[in-house]
């Protein structure tokens, strides 16, 4: 056994998956890389503003400890501290490596990396490549993986859907079961270790800033196979999105980092267009309420402030749920150099030019802080199964700081890749009946497919999805009430029931996208219950999780990680709580409103 090359499966080709692939290939192990889309088209491309690391190139006295402190404080102390500290310490090295790979980071006149300020910190700590940093980082990693691919060390399976893990009789992960999205064939693949890098769960909320593939289906499937899902209730709503018919498009925090100001007309009956409202008639409410951080308060704070201004004070623009995000006071050349990409998005999709007029924005579902539970090695509670990036729960606690997500993805890949190779080297002999475990899993998944295809019901899966998204967005995002959460869970049970009565209008067995989506929808519904019930049980307010009936953080009762496990007989989650590691930074009240 020891002489054979370890085989590692990585599911997902965003920043986390590709970082892990590079490390694993570099160590001489073989990578099978599975992705729903060509990996270059993964959701990481959507990240705009930048990547944090305390390089301290601005003479500000920044340090990795301060980055660590900002991250833990920003996450309202819900993250275990050791991995966060390690991530912040690895940050500068990761930036240097990306720079060496050719990421076109913005530069100072001296030719060194430029940094800008993001929310939840007072330091210029965010390296950036225009306003498409995620795209640029993904491309750099994609290029390195392509290099390994051409050397035969990485084999890509693009347009494949992960269906489930293959577990042996000892519940050790021995491979995966996946479906070819062209031929719809169900195939099992053996591996010494499996790394999940499948991103966030935006589609559970219907419209979000996430990409189409971010359904959470893989996490939902694994949860039903016994993987623990942690802090599911921690969902980040980004304060500045552009509402759209097909999705909510992000307007990056970097817009505020570069001086963008959020305001509403003081007069709710204001009829003049934004640009014509004189300074004295504008209310810059974030600067007013949070003088120290101003427009760069963390996202949960900004989101609640906008909700308050719009819903409680009735000051949304023209009575609509919208506020202004204004860049029009900044000169055109600076905007183009530093924010070109995102301003193009606004111009292209809304039709107004943000160089000239203030943008109209509103909060929208953006990031999944919770995810598959992992230990410090990024291994889930299923041996041999790892989770990395947005699909794991480990770094961001109850709220993620802007520009920390790209770092956390690469960090997790760099930690988990080598760990998986090491684990593969010490893996014991497989039980004798392993072949039958693969056969059984393939049979189980094939039967599920056949059941779905032959269903003779009346429900349209896309309508069920719309109902799911509407109720989750209404009741399980910014402001949460226990009666509404209970109501939501009842609705989710109803949707699961109606799902059994689903009917596919397309029953073909060749690149059938609606069939694929319908399969994913079931896992989304199961995971939605984890999110909703987790929110119901957490009777406090912490980070992004806000309950007006329990407005304070309650460390005595809830400084704990929520861990959900699937109970197959009851067909619903059961919950456990785990203490949080606070050994390095003692929890203190989280306030951004002092001077």
Q: Which tokens go with 226?
A: 């016994």
Residue 57 bridge partners (DSSP): none
Residues in contact with other proteins, counted by CB under 8 A, come to a total of 70
Would you tell me the crossing angle of helices 513-537 and 461-475 to the nearest 10 degrees?
Answer: 20
Residue 351 in the binding site for other proteins (CB under 8 A): yes
Q: Which helix (H) or strand (E) holds 372?
A: strand 371-372
Residue of the chain from 212, 434, 453, 585 that contacts other proteins (CB under 8 A) = 212
* Catalytic site includes residue 299: yes
- Please pick, from the candidates 32, 70, 149, 258, the single residue that binds other proteins as defined by CB under 8 A: 149
172 versus 502: smaller Cβ distance to other proteins: 502
Beta carbon nearer to other proteins, 212 or 582: 212
Tokens of 346: 């606004």
Single residue of 381, 446, 512, 575 touching other proteins by CB under 8 A: 512
Of positions 9, 31, 42, 83, contacts other proteins by CB under 8 A = 42
Closest to other proteins by CB, 136 vs 479, is 136
- 3 state DSSP class of 122: coil
Rounded alpha-carbon distances, angstroms, from residue 171 to 22, 168, 431, 458:
28, 5, 11, 38
Residue 575 engages other proteins in binding (rule: CB under 8 A): no
Using only C-alpha atoms, what is the Rg of the chain? 23
In the region spanning residues 403 to 432, those forming contacts with other proteins, defined by CB under 8 A, are 414
Look-up of token digits 């989770």: 387
Q: Kindly report the number of other CB atoms within 10 A of residue 56's CB atom.
A: 18
For 511, phi and psi rounded to 5 degrees?
Answer: 35, 55
The reply to whether 105 sits near other proteins by the rule CB under 8 A is yes
Could you say whether residue 82 binds other proteins (CB under 8 A)?
A: no
Task: Say how far apart CA 226 and CA 556 lie, in whole Å.
Answer: 29
Q: Checking phi first, is residue 472 left (phi over 0); if not, alpha (psi -120 to 50) or beta?
A: alpha
Q: Which parts of 130-242 are beta strand (E)?
A: 154-158, 160-167, 173-180, 186-190, 193-196, 229-230, 235-242
- Which one is catalytic: 116, 261, 282, 299? 299
Backbone angles phi, psi at 169, to 5 degrees: -65, -20
Q: Which of 5, 28, 82, 93 binds other proteins (CB under 8 A)?
A: 93
Measured from the CB atom, the residue of 381 and 514 that comes closer to other proteins is 514
Measured CA angle at 173 (ends 169, 179), to 5 deg? 110
Helix axes 513-537, 482-499, angle to 10 degrees: 150
Choose the binding region for other proteins from 38-46, 272-280, 527-535, 584-592 (rule: CB under 8 A): 38-46
- Which of 7, 23, 480, 563 is close enough to bind other proteins by CB under 8 A? 23
Q: Are 369 and 234 in contact (CB under 8 A)?
A: yes
**Judged by CB, which is closer to other proteins: 463, or 591?**
463
CB 199 within 8 A of CB 455: no
Candidates 337, 443, 500, 574; binder of other proteins (CB under 8 A) is: 337
312 is an interface residue for other proteins by CB under 8 A:
no
Cβ atoms of 514 and 502 closer than 8 Å: no
Q: Are 479 and 307 in contact (CB under 8 A)?
A: yes
Figure out which of the listed residues 60, 89, 99, 470 binds other proteins, where binding follows CB under 8 A. Answer: 99
21-29, 322-330, 397-405, 440-448 -> range binding other proteins (CB under 8 A): 21-29
Q: Which of 311, 451, 463, 591 contacts other proteins by CB under 8 A?
A: 463
- Stretch of 75-83, 165-173, 449-457, 508-516 contacting other proteins, by CB under 8 A: 508-516
Does 493 bind other proteins (CB under 8 A)? Our answer is no
DSSP code for 310: I
Query: Which residues are known catalytic residues?
Result: 299
Residues that bind other proteins (CB under 8 A): 22-23, 26, 37-38, 40-43, 45-46, 93, 96-102, 104-112, 129-130, 132, 135-136, 139-140, 143-144, 146-147, 149-150, 182, 211-213, 244-247, 249-250, 337, 341, 345, 348-349, 351, 414, 460, 462-463, 466, 505-506, 508, 510-514
């Amino acid at each position: 056994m020891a002489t054979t090359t370890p085989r590692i499966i990585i599911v997902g080709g965003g920043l986390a998956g590709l970082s892990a692939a590079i490390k694993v290939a570099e160590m001489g192990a073989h990578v099978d890389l599975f992705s729903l889309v060509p990996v270059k088209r993964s959701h990481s491309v959507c990240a705009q503003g930048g990547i944090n690391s305390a390089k301290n190139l601005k003479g500000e006295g920044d340090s990795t400890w301060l980055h660590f402190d900002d991250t833990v404080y920003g996450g309202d102390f819900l993250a275990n501290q050791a991995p966060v500290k390690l991530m912040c310490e690895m940050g500068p090295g990761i930036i240097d490596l990306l720079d060496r790979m050719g990421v076109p980071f913005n530069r100072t006149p001296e030719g060194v990396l430029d940094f800008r300020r993001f929310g939840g910190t007072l330091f210029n700590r965010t390296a950036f490549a225009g306003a498409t940093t995620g795209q640029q980082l993904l491309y750099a990693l994609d290029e390195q993986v392509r290099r390994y691919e051409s050397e035969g060390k990485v084999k890509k399976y693009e347009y494949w859907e992960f269906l489930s893990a293959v577990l042996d009789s000892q519940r050790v992960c021995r491979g995966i079961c996946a479906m070819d999205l062209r031929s719809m064939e169900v195939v099992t693949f053996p591996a010494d270790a499996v790394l999940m890098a499948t991103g966030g769960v935006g589609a559970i909320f219907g419209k979000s800033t996430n990409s189409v593939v971010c359904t959470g289906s893989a996490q939902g499937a694994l949860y039903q196979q016994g993987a623990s899902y942690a802090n599911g209730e921690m969902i980040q709503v980004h304060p500045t999105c552009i509402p759209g018919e097909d999705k909510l498009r992000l307007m990056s925090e970097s817009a505020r980092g570069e001086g963008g100001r959020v305001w509403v007309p003081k007069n709710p009956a204001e009829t003049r267009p934004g640009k014509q409202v004189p300074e004295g008639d504008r209310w810059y409410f974030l600067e007013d309420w949070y003088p120290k951080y101003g427009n760069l308060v963390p996202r949960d704070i900004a989101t609640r402030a906008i909700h308050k201004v719009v819903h409680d004070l009735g000051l949304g623009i023209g009575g609509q749920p919208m506020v202004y995000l204004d860049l029009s006071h900044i000169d055109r050349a600076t905007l183009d150099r530093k924010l070109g990409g995102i301003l193009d998005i606004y111009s292209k999709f809304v039709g107004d030019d943000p160089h000239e007029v203030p943008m109209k924005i509103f909060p929208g579902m953006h990031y999944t802080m919770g995810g598959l539970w992992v230990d410090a090695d990024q291994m889930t509670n299923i041996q041999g199964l790892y989770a990395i990036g947005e699909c794991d729960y480990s770094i961001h606690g109850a709220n993620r700081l802007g520009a920390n997500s790209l770092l956390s993805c690469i960090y997790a890949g760099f930690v988990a890749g080598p760990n998986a190779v090491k684990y593969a080297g010490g893996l014991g002999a497989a039980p004798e009946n392993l072949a039958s475990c693969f056969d059984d899993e393939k049979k189980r998944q094939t039967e599920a497919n056949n059941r779905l295809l032959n269903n003779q019901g009346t429900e349209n899966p896309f309508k069920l999805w719309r109902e799911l998204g509407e109720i989750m967005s209404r009741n399980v995002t910014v402001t949460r009430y226990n009666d509404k959460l209970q109501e939501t869970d009842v609705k989710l049970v109803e949707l699961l029931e109606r799902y059994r009565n689903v009917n596919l209008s397309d029953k073909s067995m060749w690149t059938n996208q609606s069939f694929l989506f319908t399969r994913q929808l079931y896992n989304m519904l199961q995971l939605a219950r984890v999110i909703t019930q987790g929110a119901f049980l957490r009777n406090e307010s912490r980070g992004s999780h806000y309950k007006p009936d329990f407005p304070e953080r309650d460390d005595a009762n809830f400084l704990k990680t929520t861990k959900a496990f699937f109970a197959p007989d009851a067909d619903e989650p059961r919950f456990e709580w785990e203490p949080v590691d606070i050994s390095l930074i003692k929890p203190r009240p989280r306030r951004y409103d002092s001077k």
